[in-house]
Amino acid sequence: MAERTYLEAIREGIWEEMERDGDVFLLGEDIGAYGGAFKVTAGMLEHFGERRIIDTPLAENAFLGAAIGAAIMGLRPIVELQFADFITTAYDQIVNYAAKARYRWGAGVPMVIRGPSGGGVHGGPFHSNNPEMPFVHTPGLKVVVPASAYDAKGLIKAAIRDPDPVLYFEHKLLYRRIKEEIPAGDYVVPLGQARIARVGRDVSVITYGAMVFVALEAAEVLAKEGIEAEVIDLRCLVPLDEEAVLASVRKTSRVILLHEDTMQGGFAGELAGRIAEKAFESLDAPLMRIASPDCPVPFSAPLEEAFLPNAKDVIEAARSLKAY
């Protein structure tokens, strides 16, 4: 076992996969000599060389297109976006080419798109988004959102080995704030398997990414009041571990759907629909959604703090559901 931060776990997973498979290479802005905007790729240029660590122009549409072509030809590119927000400039390449290649003519596109996402770091409206939903909605893409350092390493390795395109959203706030013991050797966390981050009996909090820690913080407070919250960390939005979600719902009969993305069109709506269709008779109270308000992420620190869901929101919702 070795202690690693969330960021170090991602780096270690990529490094090991590059050592294991010579077809894996990286491309993105400032990932070489500079080591990446957040230093995830620090030291890789010196170790792997410029043929496998490729600095690109400021042109996401261009280098994502190049990565798609390389993947179709048998390589395994990992694309780093400096911020996940910039993924929109390459939306056409991802949804109309990478996502549909297998369906249209049987071509696999084994590539990973890494996107540092989320708020809490005062990055403002152009550097703090959670842009997962357009890609959740696109058949042919997998969408991964790790919360722990253990999962950050295991899921990036699984994503790199996957035969189809994977979007890997890593929360910036977690990079250096999360540290835990993880296995020193090779391991993979399979895509599409949720985990129970905390066992409970009274209410299910179903969430992903940085909001897992908000849910766990709330669960600690609720436990002192005799309310045991079960926290489900989805890990992957596509493929979704629907069985884990439904099993928790049937166990607790009360549900909070929590995410950092804005409310309208957020993943909580998809979860609510599935639960209503498949576990309605298990519910003893209405489904409750907690998400960010439908506006851009504020730059101002006090406004951003008010914008993001927090433990107090979860505690109040759980109390309300318990008393229903």
Residues taking part in catalysis: 127
For residue 299, the one-letter residue type is F
**Residue whose structure tokens are 């910036």:** 172
Give the distance from CA 231 to its chain's centroid. 16
Q: How far apart are CA 148 and CA 150, in angstroms?
A: 5
SS (HEC) of the chain: CEEEEHHHHHHHHHHHHHHHCCCEEEEECCCCCCCCCCCCCCCHHHHHCCCCEEECCCCHHHHHHHHHHHHHCCCEEEEECCCHHHHHHHHHHHHHHHCCHHHHHCCCCCCEEEEEECCCCCCCCCCCCCCCHHHHCCCCCEEECCCCHHHHHHHHHHHHHCCCCEEEEEEHHHCCCCEEEECCCCCCCCCCCCEEEECCCCEEEEECCCHHHHHHHHHHHHHHCCCCEEEEECCEEECCCHHHHHHHHHHHCCEEEEEEEECCCCHHHHHHHHHHHHCHHHCCCCCEEEEECCCCCCCCHHHHHHHCCCHHHHHHHHHHHHHC
CB 201 within 8 A of CB 252: yes
